Amino acid sequence: MTNLIFVYGTLKRGFTNYERYLGVAVASGGATFVGEGMTSEPFPLVIRPAHMPPTTCGPVLMDQAEGHEGNQIIGEVFRVDDRCLEAMDVLEGVKSGYYYKRSTSIRMEDAILMQCDAYFYPPNGELLALPLQPAYTAEHHALYQPGPVNQQILALCQGASRHGLSTTVPCPMAVHCLRLLPGDDVLTSLQAFIKERGISAAAILSCVGSTGQTVLRPAGVPAPRTFSSKYEILSLSGTFGAQGHHLHMSISDPDCAVFGGHVMKGCLVRTTAEIVLGEIQGVRFSRPQDPRTGYDELSIDMIACDTSQSAAKRLKQ
């Protein structure tokens, strides 16, 4: 990652386009936060008025214009790879001539100067007449009206053949509850439940119940093992998505001997299985092969979702 960019608006951490795009690149390994800084030169920074298209009320940074000194602008520096830089160019409309990108000197908190690319809007008389801001704040961001998520930008931020290793922001959770009946297959029942409700990322929060026939694959063993007796479910844990799952179960027999392993088809409910399932919103779980392990591993991908919307509000709608 050889590119340094200075962001001063909605791409800053905690704001909408960080959550949608730049933070996704951070989670995917395509970007790294370097630190907070301030432009060495003063620039005019204003908030676009609601009547001026695009009607986002977003921040606008302009290059120095005669008679408009501006302020030294506070922002954040990120080191990004070429794909992430391309994504930022698309977001800012560089190829269409909407914004342009040029290098500017940024003084970091430790007083070190760094040359970073920043995105500028051509000086505009109407905008230059607006109050000049030293920084884009949370109060300004409360007025921001973003458009829909751009899938091209999102794909570039997710990177090529990368596994997302973490969420970029805290994500709301919706909770589902279900009870399985005698004879139900634990795995296939959960798969059907996930598919029916269109859940893209979920975690098992709790499970209490019992099994009769139970099919588990022990660690490091390619062939599953079938247990045939009366068992209590001590634990069921793991993650679920539309593209796959990773579930572990532990059971105890009448002598309190405990067995465990990967859950396979054939784990049949004996009396009941009371399951609480957490749906993680704004996230998609997938399982592409990871060359680092040779296995299909979990990829945690932020998706086109308003992650600031609470689960309760979503369910109410």
Residues classed as catalytic: 92
Over the Cα atoms of the chain, what is R_g? Answer: 25
Q: What single-letter DSSP state applies at residue 99? A: S
Q: Which of 121, 116, 52, 134 is nearest to 92 (CA)?
A: 121
Strand blocks (E) in the chain: 3-7, 31-43, 45-47, 59-61, 71-80, 100-108, 113-120, 173-180, 202-217, 225-241, 244-252, 258-263, 269-280, 283-286, 289-290, 295-296, 299-302
β-pair partners for 18:
none
The phi and psi torsions of 268 (rounded to 5 degrees) equal: -100, 135
Q: Rounded to an integer, what distance in angstroms lies between the CA atom of residue 62 and that of residue 71? A: 11
β-pair partners for 23:
none
Q: Rounded to an integer, what distance in angstroms lies between the CA atom of residue 172 and that of residue 203? A: 13
Start-end of H helices in 182-310: 186-197
Q: Rounded to an integer, what distance in angstroms lies between the CA atom of residue 168 and that of residue 122? A: 32
Q: Rounded to an integer, what distance in angstroms lies between the CA atom of residue 191 and that of residue 245? A: 9
Helices (H) and strands (E) in the chain, counts: 8, 17
